[in-house]
Amino acid sequence: MKIAIVCYPTFGGSGVVATELGLELARRGHEIHFITYSQPVRLALLNPNVHYHEVNVPEYPLFHYQPYELALSSKLVDMVKLHHIDLLHVHYAIPHAYAGYMAKQMLKDEGINIPMVTTLHGTDITLVGNHPFYKPAVTFSINKSDVVTSVSQSLKEATLRLFDIKNEIVVIPNFIEIDETINRNQVCKRSVMANSDERIITHISNFRKIKNIPDVVNVFYRIQEKIPAKLMMVGDGPEKVIAEELCEKLGIQDKVIFFGNSNEIHQILGYSDLFLLPSETESFGLAALEAMACGVPVVSSNTGGLPEVNSHGYSGYLSNVGDVDDMAENALKILRNEVVLNEFKHNALETAKKFLIDKIVPLYENVYEEALEKT
Ligand code: GMT
């Protein structure tokens, strides 16, 4: 199949899922065309089945806002015609499903019928898309998609609750590749980051408000009062400076390392003992799954799709949003004892195996077949 994938090219989240999906589909023999405004972070292009087409939006001083949707839909039309693409798969409803629908209509006018699959990722529904300024357009583009998928049951329910959706929504969870060669407990790198008696706790995100970044610091503060520990903060975003200030205020700045955005996520997770994800909401929590796939237990909030990923008392623990005392207590239950820690590490890896890429990607292939049959 020739598939156009539209996504955000950013670190983490929907962009990573879309990129990893495209790469796996290419390995399975499909021809993949990524269409976005810059090269996706995890996209390596040395593959004859993988193509990247950049959407350019020329700056024009008349426009207060440059019309990205217009440029994207035009690019989609051109690429579908040039490469004889069979199907559009758009990740994140805003504005991709909207631009995809416009492209579909323009192509229809030229006698080309192309199906569109829309994957909902979370904030496109729960945070941004739900805003009254966007809601009619988001509802419309979801209803006009040939197949709609969501990354968790919880997100499906939220979508049906918040929007007037006529379409069936198929749940296809996010997926992970487990690198068996990864050196868990990388002693040498670990020794650069922490003393041998210190536990390493890690948080990875885009440092937006929804991630409850101060809770990460506050949970860590409570942990390090009881046991020797270091905190690795990976990623960048508006709340990073708040976290830095809070660490300073609490006097723990020497125990916290801020990495910024990193391409070495797996190495960092490879020497981590615990992953913290206290988000306000999380449709899935891909970062938690990536941690588990590296054998790192997760202490997270009990919200959105997180209970579908993190198994309470097995791969980690779930606490009410904002309950930093409970999160710290749970973290200490895991970290205090070497035998317990190793058990949770093993369980985290076992739980991650439910989401192996080989099991999940065929579900997308089924959905593509279904979409093609519809048109
Ligand atoms: O978490 C973010 O803020 C980024 C966002 C995105 O769209 O890139 O992530 C969402 O999609 C991810 C991939 O499906 C999910 O794992 C995240 O849970 C989801 N984020 C939220 O729901 C807040």
Domains and CATH numbers, the chain: 2-175+356-374 (3.40.50.2000), 187-355 (3.40.50.2000)
CA 190 to ligand 1 centroid distance, Å: 29
Distance 56 CA to ligand 1 centre (A): 25
Q: Given this model, what pLDDT does residue 220 score?
A: 98
Q: Is 254 left (phi over 0), alpha (psi -120 to 50) or beta?
A: alpha
What per-residue confidence (pLDDT) applies to 193? 87
pTM for the model stands at 0.94
Token pair for 51: 């193509």
Cα–chain-centroid distance for residue 272? 20
Q: Provide the 8-state DSSP code for 167.
A: S
Distance CA(327)–CA(320), nearest Å, equals: 9
Q: Which residue numbers in the chain have pLDDT < 70?
A: 11-12, 46, 181-188
Residue 152 · residue 304 · CB < 8 Å: yes
Find all residues with CB under 8 Å of 28, minimum gap 6, and list them: 361, 365
* 332 alpha-carbon distance from chain centroid: 27
For residue 73, give both structure tokens. Answer: 């839909």
> Given this model, what pLDDT does residue 273 score?
97
Q: Is 71 left (phi over 0), alpha (psi -120 to 50) or beta?
A: alpha
Q: What is the pLDDT of residue 130?
A: 77
Tell me the pLDDT tens digit for each residue of 257-290: 999 998 888 899 999 999 999 999 999 999 999 9
Q: Which of 127, 159, 240, 284 to mutate to test the pocket of ligand 1 (most atoms within 8 A of CB)?
A: 284
d(CA 94, CA 97): 6
Give burial (CB, 10 Å; 0-12/13-18/19+) of 208: middle
- ipTM exceeds 0.85, yes or no: yes
- Which atom belonging to ligand 1 lies closest to the Cα atom of 210? 23
d(C-alpha 172, C-alpha 355), whole Å = 10
Q: Is 92 in the pocket of ligand 1 (CB under 6 A)?
A: yes
pLDDT value of residue 40: 84
pLDDT at position 187: 61
Best mutation site among 10, 282, 364 for ligand 1 pocket (most ligand atoms within 8 Å of CB): 282
Q: How far apart are CA 144 and CA 275, in angstroms?
A: 39
DSSP string, 344-360: HHHHHHHHHGGGBHHHH
pLDDT of residue 334: 98
Task: Give distance in angstroms: CA of 283 to centre of ligand 1.
Answer: 6
Structure confidence at residue 359 (pLDDT): 96
Q: Is the CB of 206 under 6 A from ligand 1?
A: yes
CA of 13 relative to ligand 1 center, distance in Å: 4
Nearest to 225 by CA among 325, 303, 154: 325
Atom of ligand 1 nearest to the CA of 281: 23
Q: In the chain, how many H helices and how many E strands?
A: 15, 13
Closest CA to 360 of 6, 83, 28, 65: 28
Pocket of ligand 1 contains residue 13 by CB under 6 Å? yes
